[in-house]
Amino acid sequence: MNVRCDDVLDLKHLQRTMVDVQLLGSGNAFLPSGRMHSFLLIDKHIIVDCPPTALASLRNAGISPADIDTILITHVHGDHVFGFPFFLLERKYISDRGGERPLTVAGSSIVRERLTELCKLAYPGSLDEMLNSIEWVDTPNIEGWSMERFEVYHEPMVEPHGWMLTNDQGWSMLHSGDSGPCEELWNRIAKCSFAVVEMGVPEWVETDEHHKPSDIVRLAEKCPNTQLILTHTYIDSDYKILTKEVPEFPENVIHGEDGMLFALDSEGSIC
């Protein structure tokens, strides 16, 4: 088969513009069967949150913690950040013993304080040098992206935020963090081609700080041009603890499973 130079150039361009998004974990705080805590990997070097099961999820995906250079924190509830001391410990003693791989942690004003306190409780004195070497920022500067952190509707004490990432190609993707339906979040989702959204509770739970199935249906109908990936789910994947029944959703909704990999093209659509 003859391959023209133009074909090679087109392939190289496609490889540059393709974005890989992997759902390393899809469960809520209660760890439904067959699921790790909600955890997202972008282009094999950016993670959203660092849950208690983060190291296990990274191991399952064959990703070294040392390859992660940026962590986007949505909020400081335990199921979203309690894996951070183990993540740092692994880098210090196994994957980055020389301390040569820089790490940026981005989030609200409470993030540095809480994660530092957590590390000192877990391993007193052992992680101080690493904590001091981290670049703590409000929003990171990452080649190919512009990033925004915005408030969502959840427990105020943990400073809940979502993240919206706009690619240099002109399309946007979003991670909701933990949030119930709110205007700021839904309006931003409508501007995105791809959005990872939490659905943390079944319909009968009395809370407005998480999305329920009916909320997802309304959101999908409001944003028909947005591909919605559900995470932080309450639905069991392996054996039944609470339920294995996945509600019926519109076509633009995918109920997430651990390990799902999405390749996004130059318009932010799933290839």
**Tens digits of pLDDT across the chain (271 residues):** 343 434 433 444 444 569 999 999 999 999 999 999 999 999 999 999 999 999 999 999 999 999 999 999 999 999 999 999 999 999 999 999 999 999 999 999 999 999 999 999 999 999 999 999 999 999 999 999 999 999 999 999 999 999 999 999 999 999 999 999 999 999 999 999 999 999 999 999 999 999 999 999 999 999 999 999 999 999 999 999 999 999 999 999 999 999 999 999 999 999 9
Domains of the chain: 16-264 (3.60.15.10)
Exposure on the CB side of residue 185, measured as CA atoms within 13 A? 29
Report the alpha-carbon distance of residue 70 to residue 79 in Å, rounded.
Answer: 19
Report the alpha-carbon distance of residue 151 to residue 108 in Å, rounded.
Answer: 10
Q: CB under 8 Å to 264, separation ≥6 — which residues?
A: 18, 19, 20, 21, 171, 173, 193, 194, 270, 271
Please report where in the chains the tokens 């019926």 appear, as a residue: 248
Cross-sheet strand order for the sheet of 19-25 = 135-137, 104-106, 70-72, 46-48, 39-42, 19-25, 260-264
Res 17: pLDDT: 63
Report the alpha-carbon distance of residue 14 to residue 100 in Å, rounded.
Answer: 31
Tokens for 155, please give them: 């427990």
Nearest-CA neighbor of 159 among 81, 234, 225, 220? 81
SS3 42: strand
Report the alpha-carbon distance of residue 85 to residue 67 in Å, rounded.
Answer: 17
